Structure 1
Amino acid sequence: MPQTPPTHRPIQPLHLAFALDGGEQHRERFEVAHYVELARLAEIGVLDFVTLDDAPPPADGAAGRFDALAVLTQVAPATDRIGLVAAVAAPHPGPPSVPAGIVLLDRISRGRAGWTPPAPDAVASGPSGPSSGTAFAPQDGQDDASAGLHDTASAGTGPTDGWPVIAVDATLEAPRETAARHADVAYVRVGGPHAERLAYEARTDLRRRAAAYGRDPDRLTVLASLAVELFDPADAVVLADLFGDWHRDGITDGFHVRPADPPRDLARLVNGTVPVLQQRGLFRRFQPGTTLREHLGLDRPVSRAVDRSADRAGGRSVG
């Protein structure tokens, strides 16, 4: 058990997310209705959000590929509250802006969209040659707005769209700084006999880095990403015990469940694990709002451009 500070208090609330594309299944054989059904079930379980990744083009050169964003754009109108996070590449190499398709998903879902940019090794090269090697951090001399991070106000027209959540896979060292500086959510994949210690150390490290950038560490939600196989209904109770123990000990802000069999494991998570957590007072019984930011307890960010205009109007220079 990791040693927690004397002033430690249990983390509240517990956040839960689910990967719709877990396991080794061939996603191209599934219809959109399959993902709609899963997302609706996750919504019944009052989970914060579901995730879906793009798939690479077929290795044999055949036409067609799995398009996560296209799928979630169709899932959005069929759901009401569940957050929808797509892992898709930016439209060009180098430090990417939030893709227009993600902003559109945020608009269609009325504030429930999120984006996981490609990991550094996934953007190390592109059609135009090597990139900067960073996931989406600004290059030297650039500010956050020019990199397109949290500054997409012009893309949205209402109070709930134009501000998709940024969720970074911070398992490896390379994207940790990016996650600490810019992300709303950070995933850390852990497993094996030392998973608990690794999850605690990762959360502590990310919070320290966020504070070094002048951020409130509590505004960065760190999720332990776990591979899960719920073979038997009793396994759902065992999982609830693990979630409860880690929550009590301040190990993580919540969990990103990567299932072996999404339909089976989600059903047992929603019908078994979640009710146990709710009975123990560890998980909510309803969503606190209608947007993903509300689920995560995040305020709508203020455009850096707006900040600069206000500063100039007040006679202060902005570096």
Structure 2
Amino acid sequence: MKNSITITSILQSMLTPEEVQRVVKLIGYEDKARKFTVYHLLQYWCMAALEQWGSYRSSVDYAALCGLSVVHYSRFSTKAAEVPFSVFKELFHLLALRAENGQPLQVVETLGSKHDGPMSEALAQPDYILVMDRAYGKLERLDHFKTHGQSFVIRLRDNVHLEKPHALRRLTKPDSSVIRDITCQLGSPQCRSRQRHRVVMFRDFEGREIRVVTDLMQVTAEQIAQIYKARWQIEVFFRWIKQHLNIPTLFGTTENAVYGQLFCALIVYVLLNWLFVAAQTSWPQHAVLSFARFSRLFLLQNYLLNG
């Protein structure tokens, strides 16, 4: 069985045409096409990411080899520019939620010319703990989070001054990486936080001192350190995206075409990761196969998938 047919069949089992149509209606797009629908566009984008197609024009020949409906490349490009990228964004969120394998449940697209800091406010959800790097640790934002009940664990910049520190009582563990646990105000007299915040200092895996600020008072300093260390999984995800997202070229220049292609590439990532996790149960205990290696083998059809 060809991997191209396999990935499209898996896609259809995870996201049926009926479900895609419901999302299309939810977004408010009216799909009038019969020969090349939004679902066909989804298949084209996913195969383009999996097999690294080079352009709209070359996609026609590849689509025929993959068993997809063949259309003129101009229809592909027109549909890509027409369908709102929010359709594929919503499908990605839906698929990630179903996979339940540690994938991001929400992605917010931003332009590289703008700072990501303000975006953290858009991601705020009181039911969750915001765990962020030091680029998001603006003092006014920390006060805002605390007064509005948004829990957070955010790394502090090295030059942030700790004003009027007060040590918290804690049980010292022999193997703890925590150095200090205090409450204090943050910043200089010219720019200082209005609220007192808890600051935990600990050493990371490489022995570097890390300072994080948080509003969490009912958990241990060690737990706060672990919460921040778990953020590294996001860095691992971004590293994989940069190395294996499989987008050698962007086909279009419109917002819908660019983001549509990117979100469908993320859909392929979730599908491959889901297959990788599911396949591990059938491997011999001594076998070691990384996700990157699995993805390459899957593409080269050197790994047989059962089922």
Structure with the larger helix share: 2
TM score, norm. by length of structure 1 = 0.23
TM-score (norm. length: structure 2)? 0.24
Larger radius of gyration: 2
